[in-house]
Structure 1
Amino acid sequence: MLVIGIAGGTGSGKTTVVNKISEKFFDNEVAILSHDSYYYDNSNLSLEERRQKNFDHPDAIEFDLMIDHVKKLKNGDAINEPVYSFISCTRQTETNSVEPKKVLIIEGILCLTNKMLRDLMDIKVYVDCDSDVRLARVIQRDIQERGRDVEQVLKRYNKTVRPSHIQFIEPTKRFADIIIPQGGKNKIAIQILTNHILQTLNKT
């Protein structure tokens, strides 16, 4: 199994990069784990308290569970990936079954912040993008998908998203084997990465 970690700021285009890589493979060849699934359950808090949580801080992720799941997949075992709702800010009761595949892509803003998780990766990627572009995407996504209004999004961006990006996320560039500027629009960089993945698989 080839394990690829794809990190980058919120709204940088990570999901687009993941999708474009996945398109080059059959469905039974690629498994995807999003670290969004591994946010701690906050159901013991009120909805307002949950929405005040800093989801861009490494402590918000249950890395121990995620690392355990990656190890199991590498050993050939299926796992039950948690399901997290950003509307209620809680972990759901249902899970998604993930089978081991030839390629495992781990995607998330914080997935390069944890050394134990990094050490399980064969290729580490950082998706880079201008901050104003990322902010525009965050506003659109949070309004359409997460039930927030513009004022809430901007308040959260200034209070937690931007400071956490500077403190935790952007510094993980130094761990990346490949940095993709311009996010998912960088066709050449994505093609180079995809070709490298294919060549690596052909050698094994």
Structure 2
Amino acid sequence: MSLSEILQKGRVAVNCGILGVRISRKYIYTHKMSEKPAEHTASNGFESKTPFLIGVAGGTASGKSTVCQRIMEKLGQQHKEQTERRVVCISQDSFYRTLKPSERLRAERGQFNFDHPDAFDDKKLLSILKDILAGKKVEVPEYDYISNSISHRSHTIYPADVVLIEGILVFYFPEVRELFHMKLFVDTDSDTRLARRVPRDIMERGRDLEQVLNQYMNFVKPAFEEFCLPTKKFADVIIPRGADNFVAIDLIVQHISEYLKKNSSDKVQLQLSTLAPSVPSSPQRSGKGGRPH
């Protein structure tokens, strides 16, 4: 059975190195994926397809960004110039909303819930994703975890064939969720996630142990159970053990590779047909005076 047949038949979950396929009415190819890709006119005058948008959700420190990193590495995209990348990645953290002064004080004490949907600017995220789907170049802000604020720096996302968007609540907002052509959920044990989060927040984000643990117990864990975990049901592919699940990542990479090859082939054919010289119509076949009927 070919890869495409496996992907079309069911919802994929990979566990302990064994690929299991569950037959259900929710296919890896969603309704939107089965439709003919939308097209738009690019700046070079040629028609180009809408980017393939992949959402990557999961709890804190589940390995979402590492999964995206591995996918890009296997596709040979990590060390390419931004303008040459066919696959790019965006973090939902870039769309935290600006905190009010009172909220900023609470955040400094570790008493603000950054895992609640209200902490995000979902309208801005939706707007950026729509621009990306329209083939536009966009500016994505950078988030400063130490000051808990959006920095003045930003990075440019150029039009690409595949765009990965990772974050704890990328499936929570219905309007955003509906834009994804594929949805991945990184499912990692809660103890493992906590063991990763503690050293990360202490070493990379300047927090102390007591603050990290209090924030996890009071905000992170309850928010995961209330807002993030329920969105697992929307996933087309569930990845247990995150970036350690090489079988799942290889499967996804192969699917994306096939898409990129097909997209490249379509673009070449399109450009050749556009550049081909037009053959003048014969007067004998064009009606009186050479004009079409």
Q: Does 1:15 align with 2:101?
A: no
How many residues in Structure 1 have an aligned counterpart in Structure 2? Answer: 204
Larger CA deviation: 87-96 vs 45-54: 45-54
Higher Cα Rg, which structure? 2
1:87 equivalent among 123, 146, 150: 146
Match of 2:87 in 1: 30
User: What stretches of structure 1 of length at least 5 have no aligned partner?
Assistant: none
Identical amino acids, percent of aligned pairs: 41
Which letter maps to 2:70? K
Q: Give, in angstroms, the shift of residue 201 of structure 1.
A: 3.2
Higher relative contact order (CA 8 A, sep 6+): 1
Q: Which of the numbers 147, 150, 156 marks the counterpart of 2:206?
A: 147
Tell me whether 1:165 sits opposite 2:215 in the alignment.
no
- Rounded Cα–Cα distance in structure 1 between residues aligned with 2:262 and 2:90: 24
In structure 2, stretches of 5+ residues that fail to align are 1-50, 264-293
Contact map agreement 2:103 2:112 (CA 8 A) in 1: no
Q: Is the alpha carbon distance of 1:113 and 1:46 closer, same or farther for their aligned partners in structure 2, counting shifts above 3 Å?
A: closer
Is residue 168 of structure 2 the alignment partner of residue 112 of structure 1? no
Q: Please point out which of 254, 260, 273 is paired with 1:201.
A: 260
Question: How far 1:54 moved relative to its partner?
Answer: 0.7
Q: Equivalent of 1:73, from 132, 144, 151?
A: 132
CA contact (8 A) 1:43 1:90 kept: no
2:197 aligns with: 138
SS in structure 2 at match of 1:154? helix
Q: TM-score, normalised by structure 2?
A: 0.67
Amino acid at match of 1:84: Y
**Residue 82 of structure 1 aligns to which amino acid in structure 2?**
P
Aligned counterparts of 2:164 and 2:219: Cα–Cα separation in 1: 26
Compute the displacement of 1:73 (Å).
1.2
Q: Report Cα offsets for 1:26-55 as digits up to 9, x if no partner.
A: 331112110001001126346432242211
Q: How many Å apart are 1:115 and its aligned residue? A: 1.1
Using structure 1 for the length normalisation, give the TM-score. Answer: 0.95
1:125 touches 1:180 (CA, 8 Å); kept in 2?
A: yes
